[in-house]
């Protein structure tokens, strides 16, 4: 004889059900007072100063669950300026610039760097074609800060080949929105820079840093420090635009001053083309996985 009795999967209502019940409850002076709200529905409570540790947890957990559910095992992270236009726009800015003076020099330098928009886009196309593994997990999924310029180029490159891409956006005082090439379900917004930077690196298995400003420096040097101090295993770090990086950062001088060691200069590789960058990544992982 077979026992066909079914054991219920759960006996407690789900949080969503309780929340809906609470929203349609009776209205009395007691039930309408903020103290009566369910804690997870009380925004004034969740935004208290002393709830910051809880908000940290939530901001760490939500993206983790979304990326897990999207079966993303690893990412290829793109850092770079939000101010470098694509080549056509850079040419228009240069044509509109004064004949001489500081504005002209800036326009010329932006035009020189605008080629990296196309390089980032091509590199994103290349890495986005990496196959899923036997477990159906995706690797080298393009991940950017979600903004314009180099970040847009990365997401755009993935979209060119019909691949999903990630954006880790941040709330800033001035209005902004994710660039239109980001996969909507993988467009994530952060309040805390620290949690955003953590998610940039948790799945990162390669990183390309294009010419950029404070934000690019902040994120790049944090990764270099983590590898230098042994907090994480080395990953390929591609610095695009050797002329730019050697002009704005004197890495050999840091060795000469004794504040970093000679071997620290091997933590990154200078690159100019998408093919060169992808070859660096393949070489890095060759001994671990010859299929890359």
Q: What is the pLDDT of residues 100-129, one digit of tens each?
A: 899 999 999 999 999 999 999 999 999 999
What's the chain's average pLDDT?
A: 94
* Structural domains of the chain, count: 1
DSSP assignment letter at 8 = P
For the ranges 3-7, 147-151, 216-220, the lowest mean pLDDT is seen at 3-7
Q: Which helix (H) or strand (E) holds 78?
A: strand 75-79
Angle at 256 between CA 252 and CA 259, to 5 degrees: 95
pLDDT confidence band for 248 (50 / 70 / 90) = very high
Q: What distances in angstroms separate CA 75 from CA 22, 118, 208, one per listed residue?
A: 41, 20, 11
C-beta atoms surrounding 30 within 10 Å: 9
Judge whether 160 lies within some domain.
yes
CA dist., res. 270 & res. 119, Å (int): 14
Residue given tokens 């809880």 in the structure block? 54
Judge whether 219 lies within some domain.
yes
Judge whether 51 lies within some domain.
no
Residue given tokens 């990296």 in the structure block? 116
More confident residue, 182 or 25: 182
More confident residue, 8 or 154: 154
Q: What is the pLDDT of residues 40-91, one digit of tens each?
A: 999 999 999 999 999 999 999 999 999 999 999 999 999 999 999 999 999 9
Judge whether 128 lies within some domain.
yes
Q: What is the pLDDT of residues 270-279, one digit of tens each?
A: 999 999 999 9
DSSP codes of every residue in 132-196: P-TTS-B-SEEEE-S-STHHHHHHHHHHHTT---EEEEE--SS-----TTS-GGGEEEES-HHHH
| The pLDDT value given to residue 288 | 64
Q: What distances in angstroms separate CA 132 from CA 70, 124, 136, 138, 141, one per listed residue?
A: 12, 16, 5, 5, 10
| The pLDDT value given to residue 231 | 96
Instruction: With CA atoms as reference, report the closest residue to 143 among 122, 119, 124, 129.
Output: 124
pLDDT > 70? residue 175: no
C-beta atoms surrounding 160 within 10 Å: 14
Long-range CB contact pairs, 262-268, < 8 A, 24+: 264/224, 264/228, 267/224, 267/227, 267/228, 267/234, 267/237, 268/209, 268/224, 268/237, 268/238, 268/239
Torsion of CA 140, 141, 145, 148, to 10 degrees: 110
| The pLDDT value given to residue 5 | 82
pLDDT > 80? residue 174: no
pLDDT > 60? residue 130: yes
CATH number of the domain bearing residue 178: 3.40.50.450
pLDDT > 60? residue 261: yes
Judge whether 50 lies within some domain.
no
| The pLDDT value given to residue 103 | 92
For the ranges 5-14, 202-211, 221-230, the lowest mean pLDDT is seen at 5-14
Give the chain's length.
292
pLDDT > 60? residue 1: no
CA dist., res. 107 & res. 141, Å (int): 33
Judge whether 92 lies within some domain.
yes
Judge whether 52 lies within some domain.
no
Domain that holds residue 89: 58-286
Judge whether 44 lies within some domain.
no
For the ranges 94-98, 223-227, 243-247, the lowest mean pLDDT is seen at 94-98
């Amino acid at each position: 004889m077979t026992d066909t009795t079914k054991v219920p999967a759960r006996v407690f209502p789900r949080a969503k059900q309780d929340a809906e019940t609470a929203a349609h409850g009776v209205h009395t002076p007691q039930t309408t007072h903020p103290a009566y709200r369910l804690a997870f529905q009380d925004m004034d409570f969740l935004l208290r100063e002393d709830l910051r540790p809880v908000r940290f947890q939530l901001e760490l957990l939500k993206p983790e669950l979304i990326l897990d559910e999207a079966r993303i095992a690893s990412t290829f992270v793109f850092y770079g300026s939000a101010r470098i236009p694509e080549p056509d726009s850079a040419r228009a800015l240069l044509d509109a610039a004064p004949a001489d003076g500081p504005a002209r020099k800036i326009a010329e330098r932006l035009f020189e760097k605008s080629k990296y928009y196309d390089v980032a886009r091509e590199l994103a196309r290349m890495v986005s074609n990496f196959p899923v593994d036997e477990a159906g997990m995706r690797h080298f999924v393009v991940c950017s800060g979600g903004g314009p310029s180099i970040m847009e180029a990365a997401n755009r490159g993935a979209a060119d080949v019909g691949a999903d891409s990630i954006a880790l956006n941040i709330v800033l005082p001035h209005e902004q929105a994710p660039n239109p090439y980001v996969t909507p379900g993988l467009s994530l917004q952060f309040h805390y820079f620290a949690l955003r930077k953590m998610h940039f690196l948790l799945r990162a298995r390669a990183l390309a840093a294009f010419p950029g400003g404070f934000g690019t420096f902040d994120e790049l040097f944090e990764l270099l420090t983590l590898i230098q101090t042994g907090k994480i295993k080395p990953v390929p770090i591609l610095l695009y635009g050797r002329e730019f990086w050697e002009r704005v950062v004197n890495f050999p001088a840091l060795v000469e001053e004794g504040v970093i060691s000679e071997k620290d200069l091997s933590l990154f590789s200078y690159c100019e083309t998408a093919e060169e960058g992808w070859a660096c990544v393949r070489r890095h992982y060759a001994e671990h996985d010859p299929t890359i």
